[in-house]
Amino acid sequence: MSDAALDVVEFLLTTSVYSEDRSLDENDLPPAYRQVFWTGGADSEDDGGRGGITRPLSATVGTARTATGVDRPWDAVSDLMFTERDEFSGSVSLTQRDLAEQWFLDRVDDERLLENPTLAKHFADREGVDVDYEEARERNRPIQADRVWIDGLLDEYFDGEDEEEMLDLVEVRAPEEVDVTLDDLVLTPDQEAEIEKIAKAIEHRDYLAEIGLREIGKLLFVGPPGTGKTSTARALARDMDLPFVEVKLSMITSQYLGETAKNVDKTFEVAKRLSPCILFIDEFDFVAKTRRSDEHAALKRAVNTLLKSIDDVSLIQDDVLLIGATNHPDQLDAAAWRRFDEIVNFPKPDHAMRADILRVITRAMEIDEFDPEVVAETTEGLTGSDLRMVLREAVLEALTENRTTLTQDDLLEAVEDFEERDNLKNMDMIEGDHDALVAGGDIGAASDGGQSHDHDHDHDH
């Protein structure tokens, strides 16, 4: 029997059991199932506008396809004696659930059952089954990390102009929307140790509260652009199934200046309501620069509100892990430094790290005679983000020759091209006529913009 049939039968069993057992809640459904059945939102009154899941769950060809990823779900189970389909409504159901349950148990192990709390509870007392329902619940991603739940909360607390102002300051990502994991990154031993410590703190935060250790869970990532600060924070959110709330301090100077302090308050309120979550504040040096300058009074109020909000948020009390990041630690003042209990350094990668980064980012590629050690030797001073740009150029150059298999020479030539562009970007003056100077200025600006764009999105390593 195909895996597709197993997936569809699991879906049908889950919808049937969940519809009957009123002691189960949304956190007992696998995330892929929750997204199918979530309804409501801003217009839903029964649950404060956030939406919810209403019983009975309706298993149809469409919901089964979306939840399981099986393209033709009915075809996968149509020859089973315990399934039927209503041609008019498109619903798919179990005619003999006891047969379906035995068929399913004969084909799955305990590990698979632990991925589905609804069935883990239902089958926990069956002979030959050794699963713990509470363990399955703990493994399952909480509803608060689902995109549908996040959107419902944002709809509840922000509407119209409020939402527009809010989105200038903050971006909220569900874990499944983060496309990088910690396994995709090359980290230093110190970085790995800090991540391990904070993961343990999140896991044992009840114990930490019990012993009164509350000043924990505020990290500051420092290092040059492209060294992986943003990517590491996002990967931590992905791996720990936590919503990722990213605050962009540069947007504090937006046209909604008078409302910024209020929206900073709202940002932290949303983070607390989305908890457990990660609150990531990039460009943290902006705080110190603003406090030292003669900026608009409203802007200074917003920054002071931000600092007070940081003081008032806690991993132990609020389930919010705060991570700040800066490319310019030299610009931070004492008021900024003392807000963090751990400083994590993100230096430019050394030779060994560059070689490891190259191995990671080329995993899905064919490269003849690839020697990452040799390429790493020629890329001293480059960051993980730079190495990705080198690889991108090598791929594009090969494609112009209708090749999808690269060579070692492709990479080495891309390194040379990258260094030439980097040197051009940093030149104070380009010899030549006025037009050349203007073009050079444009090239430099574009390069700076590209670096900034990379930094805002993914440093990768």
pLDDT digit string, tens, across residues 47-72: 445 678 999 999 999 999 999 999 99
Question: Any idea of the CA torsion for 119, 125, 127, 129, to the nearest 10 degrees?
Answer: 50
Task: Using alpha carbons only, give the angle 172, 175, 176 rounded to the nearest 5 degrees.
Answer: 115
**Whether 387 contacts 420, CB under 8 Å:** no
- The answer to whether 317 and 212 have CB atoms below 8 angstroms apart is no
Check for a shared fold between 145-345 and 351-457: no
Q: Give 255: exposed, middle or buried? Use CB within 10 Å, 0-12, 13-18, 19+.
A: exposed
What is the pairing mode between strands 244-248 and 277-282?
A: parallel
Q: Please give the model's pTM, rounded to 2 decimal places.
A: 0.79
The per-residue pLDDT for 441 is 31
Task: Confirm if 384 and 226 have CB atoms less than 8 A apart.
Answer: yes
pLDDT for 151: 86
Q: In the beta sheet, which residues pair with residue 170?
A: 247
Question: 280 forms bridges with which residues in the sheet?
Answer: 246, 323
| Spacing of C-alpha 131 from chain mean position | 29
DSSP state of 318: H
Cβ-in-10-Å burial (0-12, 13-18, 19+) of 384 comes to buried
pLDDT value, residue 267: 82
From the list 81, 85, 107, the residue with the least C-alpha distance to 96 is: 81
Element (H, E) at 357: helix 351-361
Q: Are 195 and 423 in contact (CB under 8 A)?
A: no
Say which CATH architecture domain 351-457 belongs to.
Orthogonal Bundle (1.10)
Return left, alpha or beta for 228; rule: phi > 0 is left, psi -120 to 50 is alpha, else beta: left
DSSP single-letter state for residue 142: P
pLDDT of residue 257: 53
H, E, C per residue of 18-61: HHHCCCCCHHHCCHHHHHHHEECCCCCCCCCCCCEECCCCCCEH
User: Using alpha carbons only, what angle is made at residue 150 by residues 263 and 251, rounded to the nearest 5 degrees?
Assistant: 30
Write down the pLDDT at residue 297.
74
What single-letter amino acid sits at 304?
A: N
DSSP state of 91: B
- Tell me: cis bond preceding 31? Omega within 30 of 0 counts: no
Q: Is 86 left (phi over 0), alpha (psi -120 to 50) or beta?
A: beta
Both tokens of 118, joined, read 């609804």
- Helices 61-68 and 3-20 cross at an angle (nearest 10°) of 110
| Rounded Cα–Cα distance for residues 43 and 53 (Å) | 14
Q: Determine the Cα–Cα distance for residues 359 and 168; give it in Å rounded to an integer.
A: 37
Q: Where are the domains of the chain?
A: 3-140, 145-345, 351-457
Could you give phi then psi for residue 144, rounded to 5 degrees? -65, -15
Query: pLDDT tens, 325-381?
Result: 999 988 888 878 888 989 999 999 999 999 999 999 999 999 999 999 999 999 999
- pLDDT given for residue 252 in this prediction: 64
Q: Can you give the pLDDT at residue 435? A: 40
- Cα–Cα nearest to 312, from 277, 279, 268, 270: 268
For 449, the token pair is 């913009």
Residue 224 C-alpha from the chain's centroid: 21
Alpha carbon dihedral 441, 444, 448, 453, in 10-degree steps, equals 90
What are the two backbone dihedrals, phi and then psi, of residue 270, each rounded to the nearest 5 degrees?
Answer: -65, -45
Which overall architecture, per CATH, does domain 145-345 show? 3-Layer(aba) Sandwich (3.40)
Residue 201 CA to residue 379 CA, distance in Å, equals 37
Q: In the prediction, which pLDDT does 165 show?
A: 65
Residue labelled with tokens 């699963």: 131
pLDDT in tens, the chain (461 residues): 469 999 999 999 999 999 999 999 999 999 999 999 998 654 444 444 567 899 999 999 999 999 999 999 999 999 999 999 999 989 999 999 999 999 999 999 999 999 999 999 999 999 999 999 999 999 998 888 899 888 888 887 776 666 666 666 788 999 989 999 999 999 999 999 999 999 898 888 889 888 988 778 899 999 999 999 999 999 999 999 999 999 877 666 554 555 667 777 888 888 898 889 999 999 888 777 766 666 667 777 778 888 889 999 999 989 999 999 999 988 888 878 888 989 999 999 999 999 999 999 999 999 999 999 999 999 999 999 999 999 999 999 999 999 999 999 999 999 999 988 776 656 544 444 444 333 333 323 333 333 333 434 444 44
Cβ–Cβ under 8 Å, residues 133 and 226: no
Q: What is the pLDDT of residue 446?
A: 31
